[in-house]
């Protein structure tokens, strides 16, 4: 017993990730935390997407289940779990059964290397970014399997479209990533890294997020990645694989109930995964904004208040809407519920003001806040851009993004070489 406690405690003073320190207990704890956090994020995204899209289209969105539809995703999840699991008679049983699990596994395995903070990651691999790109590219296999095994025309066409799209945009994505990895080698030590934590530490050391490095080269690479990642996750405006007006629902037309919800889960967690790649490579990962302009101890303290302030802000919105609730007796339970939700958010915010907590949590907060910004962009794209035609999509991928990516890569390499040899030898 004492040995076990000692084993658990031995990690606490460490400055490494639990995977790198080789402590199995904390690895398991971190995996559980990341998994639950991700599931909660997907549930929250479900509600937010419907609400934000609705408000963009001047509708109300879900309003019935819970105050302002807050319990709608839970109701949806229960509905999906209770639904009958239908398998088409002519379907290829094994592949039909395995496909959703392949997609979900590929989407979740990626989070092993996502760095929420210098020590807040499950593990740190020295091939981190390569691992993320490789494993997330496996999800296309699941989609193809699902489309083929359904033995139906719409899913097959959807799967073909989606695989063609994902394979062609992966190239542009890879080139953009390489140009960011090149920038990591401009340290004093002169060696680059593929490790996710190493990439953020390189940005810290160079005192500059890679999106601003060699302006506008970093920005262009980031732009290429930002377009390619929307295409890679099959989201609007690149959602040809599931174009409702043409293919009913694309590759998951024949799926129902729990299996369909697995596809849904995988899609959203893949969105979070690619956003966190973008945040890590170009937006400085867990680093706080304005590290140079607003540096020094007072500014550090002000920025450490941000997590608490954010939650108090959400709590304030809740209370504001509680006051605005209709005073009719029918809405009493909803009003109480909303007030209770506000109280919970406010308490979380107050806990985050405790210095001991805020120091440990603020890197996670900044990372999640940046990823949340990307998630909002995804919804925004969906609300504003019309869907591309397939030939336009291919033209964009191969004739615009790919040459741009190559050009940025060459220019980044040349500028980096010039900087090292001529300007600052």
Which positions lie near another protein, rule CB under 8 A? 92, 95, 125-127, 130-131, 133-135, 137-138, 140-141, 144-145, 148, 156, 159-160, 163-164, 166-167, 170
CB of 92 to another protein, least distance (A): 8
Distance of CA 201 to the CA centre of its chain: 20
The encoded tokens of residue 150 equal 């359904």
72 versus 269: smaller Cβ distance to another protein: 269
Positive/negative CA dihedral, 38, 44, 50, 53: negative
156 versus 279: smaller Cβ distance to another protein: 156
d(CA 390, CA 160): 12
Q: What angle separates helix 355-384 from helix 306-324, to the nearest 10 degrees?
A: 60
134 versus 373: smaller Cβ distance to another protein: 134
Distance of CA 275 to the CA centre of its chain: 4
CB of 270 to another protein, least distance (A): 14
CB of 125 to another protein, least distance (A): 7
d(CA 144, CA 98): 12
141 versus 372: smaller Cβ distance to another protein: 141
CB of 103 to another protein, least distance (A): 14
CB of 372 to another protein, least distance (A): 28
Residue environment code for 183-199, b if the CB has 16+ CB neighbours within 10 A, otherwise e: bbebeeeeeebbbbbbb
CB of 127 to another protein, least distance (A): 5
Contacts of 92 (CB under 8 A, 6+ apart): 148, 149, 151
Q: How wide is the angle at C-alpha 373 spanned by C-alphas 17 and 65, nearest 5°? A: 105
CB of 191 to another protein, least distance (A): 14
135 versus 230: smaller Cβ distance to another protein: 135
61 versus 115: smaller Cβ distance to another protein: 115
Contacts of 29 (CB under 8 A, 6+ apart): 18
CB of 147 to another protein, least distance (A): 8
d(CA 334, CA 156): 45
d(CA 341, CA 352): 17
145 versus 186: smaller Cβ distance to another protein: 145
46 versus 233: smaller Cβ distance to another protein: 233
CB of 234 to another protein, least distance (A): 14
What would the DSSP string read from start to end of 21-45? HT-HHHHHHHHHHHHHHHHHHHHHH
159 versus 220: smaller Cβ distance to another protein: 159
CB of 154 to another protein, least distance (A): 14
139 versus 304: smaller Cβ distance to another protein: 139
Yes or no: say if 196 and 128 are a contact pair by the CB < 8 Å rule: yes
Q: Of 175, 200, 203, 205, whose CA–CA distance to 188 is shortest? A: 205
Yes or no: say if 396 and 230 are a contact pair by the CB < 8 Å rule: no
Phi-psi sector, 295: left (phi>0), alpha (psi -120 to 50), beta:
beta
């Amino acid at each position: 017993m004492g040995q076990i406690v000692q084993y658990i405690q031995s990690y606490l003073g460490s400055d490494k990730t639990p995977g790198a320190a080789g402590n199995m207990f904390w690895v398991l704890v971190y995996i559980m935390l990341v998994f639950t956090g991700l599931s909660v994020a997907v549930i929250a995204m479900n509600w937010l997407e419907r609400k934000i899209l609705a408000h963009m289209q001047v509708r109300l969105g879900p309003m019935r289940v819970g105050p302002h539809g807050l319990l709608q995703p839970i109701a949806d999840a229960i509905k999906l779990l209770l639904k009958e699991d239908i398998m088409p008679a002519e379907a290829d049983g094994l592949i039909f059964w395995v496909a959703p699990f392949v997609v979900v596994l590929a989407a979740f395995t990626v989070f092993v290397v996502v760095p929420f903070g210098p020590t807040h990651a499950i593990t740190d691999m020295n091939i981190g970014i390569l691992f993320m790109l490789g494993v997330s590219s496996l999800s296309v296999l699941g989609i193809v399997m699902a489309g083929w095994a359904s033995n139906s025309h719409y899913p097959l066409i959807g799967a073909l479209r989606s695989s063609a799209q994902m394979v062609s945009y992966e190239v542009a994505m890879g080139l953009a990533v390489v140009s960011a990895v090149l920038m990591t080698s401009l340290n004093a030590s002169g060696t680059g890294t593929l490790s996710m934590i190493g990439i953020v530490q390189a940005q810290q050391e160079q005192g500059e997020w890679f999106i601003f490095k060699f302006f506008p080269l970093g920005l262009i690479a980031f732009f290429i990645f930002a377009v390619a990642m929307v295409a890679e996750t099959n989201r609007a405006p690149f959602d040809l694989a599931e174009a409702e007006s043409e293919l009913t629902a694309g590759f998951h037309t024949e799926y129902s109930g729990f299996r369909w919800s697995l596809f849904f889960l995988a899609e959203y967690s893949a969105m979070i995964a690619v956003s966190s790649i973008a945040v890590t490579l170009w937006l400085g990962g867990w680093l706080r904004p304005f590290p140079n302009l607003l540096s020094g101890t007072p500014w550090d303290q002000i920025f450490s208040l941000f997590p608490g302030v954010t939650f108090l802000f959400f709590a304030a919105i809740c209370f504001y809407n509680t006051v605005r609730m209709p005073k009719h007796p029918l809405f009493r339970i909803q009003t109480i519920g909303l007030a209770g939700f506000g109280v919970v958010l406010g308490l979380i915010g107050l806990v985050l003001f405790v210095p001991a907590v805020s120091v440990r949590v603020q890197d996670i907060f900044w990372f999640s806040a940046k990823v949340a910004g990307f998630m909002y962009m995804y919804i925004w794209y969906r609300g504003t851009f019309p869907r591309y035609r397939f030939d336009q999509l291919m033209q964009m991928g191969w004739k615009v993004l790919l040459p741009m990516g190559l050009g940025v890569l060459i220019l980044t390499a040349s500028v980096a070489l010039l900087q090292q040899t001529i300007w600052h030898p």
